[in-house]
Every structure is written in structure tokens, then in C-alpha cells.
Amino acid sequence: MAVFASHFVYRYGSIDPSFGKKFTSGWKLGIILIFPVIFSFWWAGVVRYCFWPNEDTKEYIRELINRTVGEDVENISYIGTMFYQSSGTNDLDFNSVAWIGVCQMFLMVGFSMGCVFGFGTGCYFLLSDQLSILSAAANNFQKQLFYSLVLQTLIPLVLMHIPITIFFICPMLNLDLDFTSVFVASTITLYPAVDPLPSFFVIKSYREAILSFFRKVKVIPPRNTMIGTYTQNSAVIYNTKLGVKII
């Protein structure tokens, strides 16, 4: 999501010249591009110190992994955490490390989505104001790029981030919903196949190129092959398209 946030900031700078001159021109563009790198190291640190497997998580999921996968937990690579830990009594204690990690994760996603929605809304209003200034072709192209970027942002939001958020919220509320893991795995699998579609169908030049390619594909009709067999009383003609006919 940090990459999409950088896209929207740059898109806004390309539409608003004053903003672009201050923040997205020349060497300043590198500041925007470095944010995804910072977020990647931040997330790696959160995973290493908050979601890394430990003895408590191994013992907690050992029986589950053995029953569902048929493997020992030592042979499985995974990341995860326990939001609650059992104490000597029947009470559950908060695992502060897990909560700190998930709060940082939500902070990263929230910051990125704030940039996406904030600069995305700004792009929409700027494009609306420039309808009378730009030529019809330039305005149409800007709109195509903007709508394509919006759809390419909504796709990972719907297929990845919202399902994963639900996947995290359930154990945070101490709810055991097994179907969420299957649902998340299915939506994440769909993402790579669906992600490039907005560019193909929204941007006119891409759409026309795809349609032109399929128009050039010619379907060769099947040939009729006639094989005749003659006997004393009848003639049998085999037609590969129509089947068998006796005359």
C-alpha cells in the first residue's frame, strides 16, 4: 500500500504544478520513492520481533498443524502471534508484544490508505476543475489514468487488506472462525490475476490494442472430408462434420 500511496502523491503532483514543483520534481521525487523501502524495513522489523515463531506459539499450534497438515510444526515455516496467553488460572493475559506489533501494522496500512484517499480525492477535484482548461483528448487520458489507478488500488484493498484485517481482528476478539483462513487464501490467490485488468480495459490505447489482437485471430473452419465406401447394395459416406450417412 505504501507503493500505491507514492503513486497517488506523484499523480497529484503531475496535476497540480505548484505541488509538483515543491515535492515531486527532481531529486525530491526520491523522497517519495524511498517511503516504500522504509515501510518494508519497518514491516520486516515488526515481523521479526512481534510475529516471529516462539515456543508458546509452537506448542499452541502443534496439534492443529499435525491434524490438518500431517506435519510437525518444526517442519513448517510461518509467522504468527498469540494475542492472549494462558496464565496459571483460567484467565487470559494480554500479550503486549503481539498487540504492539498489530498496532504498528494497522498504523502502516492506515497511513498509506490516508495518502491514497486524501490525494485521490484531490486528484478527482483537480481533474474536475480542469475540464474547461485541458483539451478533450488530454482530459480524457488523465481521467483514464486516474480511474485505472483507483481500480488498481481498490483491488488489493478488497482482495488482500480487508480480508487480512478480518483475519487479524478475529483472534484479537478471541473469536475462532476457521473459514477466514480459507477465504483469505482464496482472495490472495485471485489478486495477481485480477490486478492488471484495470489497465487493460480502462486505458483506451491498451483496450484497443487487445481488441485489435483478437480481431486478427482467424478461426479456421473445419473441412468436410468425404470418404466413400461402396458395397453391392449401398454406399456409405463418412462426413467428418456431419457424421455417417447411408444412401
Residues 239 and 121 in one domain: no
Residues 6+ apart with CB under 8 A from 228: 235, 236, 237, 238
For residues 170 and 137, state if they share a domain.
Answer: yes
Cα–Cα distance, 136 to 16 (Å, whole number):
18
- Are residues 226 and 181 both part of a single domain? no
CB atoms within 10 A of CB 28: 13
Are 185 and 233 found together in one domain? no
Q: Which amino acid is at 77?
A: S
Look up residue 27 and give its three cell numbers.
Answer: 531529486
- The last residue of a domain, from among 98, 113, 129: 129
Same domain, 43 and 140: no
| Residue 223 in grid coordinates | 473441412
Range among 194-203, 210-219, 230-239 rated most confident:
194-203
Domain residues for the domain of 9 are 1-129
My answer on whether 202 and 233 are in the same domain is no
pLDDT of 226 higher than 60: no
Q: Which residues pair with 235 in a beta bridge?
A: 230
132-191 pLDDT tens trace? 666 677 777 777 877 887 887 788 888 888 888 888 788 888 777 666 677 777 888 888
Spell out the residues 6+ positions from residue 126 whose beta carbon is closer than 8 angstroms to its own.
12, 15, 16
Residues 143/28, Cβ–Cβ less than 8 Å = no
AA identity, residue 51: F
Q: What is the mean pLDDT of the chain?
A: 77
Examine the domain organization and report whether 14 and 75 are in the same domain.
Answer: yes
CA gap 220, 211 in Å, rounded: 19
3 with 117, same domain: the answer is: yes
| Best-predicted range by mean pLDDT (41-50, 157-166, 203-212) | 41-50
Place of cell 476478539: 173
Last residue of a domain, one of 107, 129, 151: 129
Domain identity same for 115 and 151:
no
pLDDT surpasses 90 at 7 = no
Rounded CA gap, 114 and 153, in Å? 12
Total domains in the fold of the chain: 3
N-to-C CA span, the chain: 71
237 band by pLDDT with thresholds 50, 70 and 90: very low
Same domain, 176 and 68: no
Residues 96 and 196 grouped into a single domain: no
Reported confidence tier of residue 228, pLDDT bands at 50, 70, 90 = very low
Residue 246, strand partner residues: 236
SS3 134: coil
Give whole-number Cα distances, 243 to 77, 208, 221, 238, 240, in Å: 58, 41, 16, 6, 6
Claim to verify: residue 87 and residue 195 sit in the same structural domain: no
Give kind and range of the element (H or E) at residue 236. strand 235-239
Q: What number is the average pLDDT over the span 48-53?
A: 89
In 34-112, the DSSP E strands lie at 84-86, 92-94
| The model's pTM | 0.68
Cβ-based neighbours of 94, under 8 Å, separated by 6 or more: 83, 84, 85
Last residue in a domain, options 96, 129, 162: 129
